[in-house]
Amino acid sequence: MFKRILRVFIVIVVLAVLVIVVGGIVGFNFLRDNGIKQYFATMKPPAATVSTTIAKPSNWTPGVEAIGTVRAVRGVDLTVETAGIVKEIAFHANQKVAANAVLLQLDDAVERADLDAQKAQAALDQTTLTRAVELTRRGVGSDSTLDTARAAASASASQVTRLQAVLDQKQLTAPFAGTVGIPRIDLGQYLAPGTAVVTLQDLDTMRVDFSVPEQQLPLLKIGQTVRLGLGGSDDMPFAGAIRGIDPKIDPSSRLVNIRAEVANPEGKLTPGQFVQVRVELPEEQNVLSLPQTALTTSLYGDYIFVVQPAKPAGAAPAQPAKPDEKPAAATDKPADAKPADAKAADAKPADAMKPAADAMKPAADAAKPADKAAADAAKPAAADPAKPAAEGDKPAFVLSQVFVKPGRRNQGMVEIVEGLKAGDEVVTAGQNRLFNGMTVNVDNTIDPTKSANKQADQQ
């Protein structure tokens, strides 16, 4: 009987232990999951570091931008007029030549021989003409003989001129001063009429041809300043002027052709080169503009992030009072121990002085933990208020997403027509993963609108 009761008791104890263990495990998992959820629900993302700029009115130089092609004001591909074999090449690649300089000589032996023979015949005809004139003056010769001699002399002189022109065609000369390109022929090569020999380009002044939409045609006029920039660069170091505007608009593309001339003393512009063209218009005042990096485009529109000071939370002043509650609870415990000690003192009524001394002793012992608790309470009370004070020295900023209406663009800047006020602090870099109401840190040590090389030179 006793053994059966013992077995039942053991089974009950084991079941109770299992229930406690399983309940503890389930409760622990529940509390852990609940704590993780609360932690992530109340966790604030770390503040992102951004660069900002202050929006303020400035001078704005509007312009008409286009894509153009560079050509030389004087540039041709030189060809030969007559057939022949190349005898001499009098130039090399990229050589600067003067006007009328001989560049190519073809074999002209036959033409020279014909010219010499014709010169001799012309000399004979001139002598015959002189003799006929003298005989006619003396009255011996007839007028018909004089006319025949005069016609023969004139024909011989004309023939000499023709053969001299044929001989000159055996030479290729530069029609103007410029720079020659790579030779396209070799010594001893037979050339047919029209064969291209070399290109000649005058690189001192360049011509830029570009097209603009017909809506922008009223903004352009002869003499306006034009700036050019090479592809892949925002700088436009070359300046020129409009020299021609086509009076006809292309009906198929609705574009009008414009021609400008730009000085090229250093030879940085090359014929056929792609350039960015900007025609500068009159300057405007008090225009709000931002770097293009500050503007973000989305399906809902264009927007910017404005940095604003964070508003103080309503529950923040009540937090420093929390550490003071713990010492109060700690001081209550020694106070509660005081009556217990008094009861122990009253247990011995025989000696009147002894109970009084015993009552004073617990009071002194109770004062020690009270002082200790007061000191412990003073530590967090002194440390915790200092922490918010230190954090208060560094201002907190939050983001406000503002939708804006952009306008014209110029040299990395964009005009903001609506949605921006003067004095707003706008984020110019670090917009990735930003959202409305997010806390940020402002760091303007590096200006993203300038290249790293320029900033390094300035520092």
> How confident is the model over 39-59, as a mean pLDDT?
84
pLDDT the model gives residue 306: 93
Is the C-alpha dihedral spanning 268, 271, 272, 274 positive or negative?
positive
pLDDT band at 138 (very low <50, low <70, confident <90, very high): confident
SS3 194: coil
Please say if the pLDDT value at position 47 is more than 50: yes
- CA gap 131, 329 in Å, rounded: 151
Lowest-confidence region among 102-116, 128-142, 275-289: 128-142
Place of tokens 């700088």: 235
pLDDT the model gives residue 233: 65
SS3 346: helix
Q: Note whether 405 and 419 are within 8 A (CB).
A: yes
Give the tokens for residue 299. Answer: 């399906």
Please choose, from the candidates 280, 287, 307, the residue with its C-alpha nearest in 3D space to the C-alpha of residue 406. 287
Q: List Cβ neighbours of 186 (8 Å cut-off, separation of 6 or more).
A: 86
> How confident is the model over 38-51, as a mean pLDDT?
80
- CA gap 214, 225 in Å, rounded: 19
Please say if the pLDDT value at position 382 is more than 50: no
Q: Note whether 241 and 258 are within 8 A (CB).
A: no
pLDDT the model gives residue 251: 93
> How confident is the model over 382-405, as a mean pLDDT?
64
pLDDT band at 252 (very low <50, low <70, confident <90, very high): very high
Lowest-confidence region among 190-199, 228-237, 310-319, 378-387: 378-387
Residues of the chain with pLDDT > 70, as a percent, come to 78
Please say if the pLDDT value at position 334 is more than 60: no
Tell me which H or E stretch contains 329.
helix 322-346
Amino acid letter for position 351:
D
Q: List Cβ neighbours of 196 (8 Å cut-off, separation of 6 or more).
A: 77, 78, 79, 184
pLDDT the model gives residue 395: 63
Measured CA to CA in angstroms, residue 357 lies from 72, 335, 384 at distances of 117, 18, 41
For residues 373 and 302, which has the higher predicted lDDT (pLDDT)? 302
Q: Note whether 182 and 39 are within 8 A (CB).
A: no
- CA gap 459, 451 in Å, rounded: 13
pLDDT the model gives residue 311: 78
Interval 361-375: pLDDT, tens: 433 443 343 344 334
> How confident is the model over 95-120, as a mean pLDDT?
93
Provide the whole-model pTM. Answer: 0.57
Q: How many helices (H) and strands (E) does the chain have?
A: 6, 24
> How confident is the model over 400-429, as a mean pLDDT?
90
